[in-house]
Structure 1
């Protein structure tokens, strides 16, 4: 494809993610103001943003390239691993079926997480959490907001509300409570890693997202048949992380991608659109060559 990429960002979240702030249209406005002319909204287990973006097709004379994206929450054994799928057809029945299974399992996970929090001494009610989620799947953001409503919870939440973890309270709360070893952790395999990759491998470009977060998994355990690349450039990664994953990708003939993992200032302070540290347009060009081989998985805006 003959398309001149100025700036790009392949990992971001809108308010169609349970922990996103900006609407897809607001994200489009910000990306254009920052000179980002290739991007993908990768909402957590939701493809709603692609439907919204479709309404913007051709709005600015086809100067911006939008690529369908979704961040899938998969279980590799007892470890949650995120895989970004790009370039899928909006009418993909396989993906629709995968997301339906995810949402059923997510309800069960929410119920069990609340029971765990109650057992830990927190005051929290399932109905209130679901109401606060506003029709979306409850996230760590939802949980912390509901918990913070009750004075009897605030002592246990001090670090997140006023203390040393209040600089990024929602992210810190999620990792402390709902990842393995946390007080609210429950093992509910939302989607199986191997099964989902097998189903989607010919229907989208599949990228391991922010791999440095999976501290008990070597990248070689995650790069199975069907995985096309690694998000080497990420707001989570140090310079050493970036070089390591770039080299691994080169050695194994994998794509490299770059994403800010933007959620909004309230959720992830200091992480802005385009803030992934990659200035190598070759990264974007190689990704674009691969992703545009999937019919109807992108639009010009």
Structure 2
């Protein structure tokens, strides 16, 4: 049985490991197939593919596109995308600028509340190879500055969607996200769907070209996963899954995996590459 994880982040966005280190860690964890799915950037894919060449781990080129549907933020995973696709490069250029400005505004809000943190602290927390600056980097900077005890506390009190320093951001529509992934030669999968949003949105997403639904996740309860699979099957969509792993501070890579047979259509969508 081949062991699969189709939702992993590197330091190109808000993960803790470099793409090459992630591939090596995946090999040590006896994973056979992984997907690099950094937030709004494909900047870590080339390094991961190079690190995997000739080794035991197959890497699928991916991305996690942040988008919006009405008032809801929806993440769409793209698998088997071309790393040099014009549609994704154009999205990345705009998204990275918006992410940086959002982080600056969050820092300004924190400073107005007496939280001693600087934008330079956020950049240090992200590391020199980070492309997509995000809320986890702000949270790590707050921890390093001694302003909160943990990343979780930073989100609970300040950076979460209801937090006092939360800053919304302009995002493309879900339909646009699906189209840019398809234009890049990839297949689009709804990442970590919210059960409260799922039934009202899934048919529209399928009509717009969605290929699959992330049904298998460590934090998805069995009844929701069963419902996601049932509706996906009804609509001719593929099941997918992954750990959404960002680093060892949460769990060990490989603690969660999916048998390849359960996500075969997504794995095979790009042939053998």
For normalisation by structure 1, the TM-score amounts to 0.78
SS state at 2:269 partner: helix
Q: Indicate the residue corresponding to 2:97 in structure 1.
A: 104
Measured at CA, do residues 67 and 146 of structure 1 come closer, stay the same or move farther in structure 2, by a change above 3 Å? closer
Q: State which of 67, 80, 92 in structure 1 corresponds to 2:73.
A: 80
Structure 1 gaps, min length 5:
162-168, 293-297
Asked if the contact 1:45/1:99 (under 8 Å) is kept, the reply is: yes
Aligned residues of 1:210 and 1:234 also touching (Cα < 8 A):
yes
Alignment of 1:53-64 (within 5 A): 53-56=48-51, 58-60=53-55, 63-64=56-57
Is the Cα–Cα contact under 8 Å of residues 12 and 261 in structure 1 kept in the other structure? yes
Q: Does 1:17 align with 2:17?
A: no
Count residues in correspondence: 267
Partner of 1:283: 262
Q: Which residue is equivalent to 1:91? A: 84
Residue 179 of structure 2, aligned match among 198, 202, 211: 198
Q: How much has 1:89 moved relative to structure 2?
A: 1.2
Structure with greater helix share of residues: 2
Q: In structure 2, what is the Cα distance between the partners aligned to 1:42 and 1:172?
A: 25
Q: CA RMSD in A?
A: 2.5
Q: Secondary structure at the match of 2:99?
A: helix
1:29 aligns with 2:35: no
Counterpart-to-counterpart distance in 2, 1:65 and 1:261: 17
In 1, the alpha carbon distance for the partners of 2:196 and 2:158 equals 18
The match for 1:217 is: 197
Q: Distance in 2 between matches of 1:7 and 1:101?
A: 35
Give the Cα separation in 1 of the matches to 2:44 and 2:109. Answer: 32
Instruction: Report if the CA contact (8 A) 1:210-1:232 is conserved.
Output: yes
CA distance in 1 between partners of 2:212 and 2:156 (Å):
25
Q: Bigger radius of gyration, 1 or 2?
A: 1
Q: Work out the CA distance in 2 between the residues paired with 1:175 and 1:86.
A: 31
Residue range with higher mean Cα deviation, 40-49 or 130-139: 130-139
- Whether the aligned pair in 2 keeps the contact of 1:120 and 1:183 (CA below 8 Å) is no
Which residue of 2 is the match for residue 165 of structure 1?
none
CA 1:86/1:274 → structure 2, altered by over 3 Å: closer, same or farther?
farther
Change (3 A) 1:177 1:83: farther
Does residue 141 of structure 2 align to residue 146 of structure 1? yes
Structure 2 residue ranges without an equivalent (≥5): none
Structure 1 residue 46, shift from structure 2 partner: 2.1
* Alpha-carbon separation, structure 2, partners of 1:201 and 1:220: 23
Instruction: Give me the TM-score of the superposition, normalised by structure 2.
Output: 0.85
- Does the Cα contact within 8 Å between 2:212 and 2:238 map onto a contact in 1? yes
Q: 1:48 to 1:274 in 2, by over 3 A?
A: farther
Separation of aligned partners in 2, 1:58 and 1:127 = 36
Residues 273/177 of structure 1: CA separation in 2 closer, same or farther (3 Å cut) = farther
CA contact (8 A) 2:189 2:212 kept: yes
The question of whether the paired residues in 2 share the 8 Å contact of 1:210 and 1:236 is answered with no
* Pairwise CA distance, 1:249: 0.8
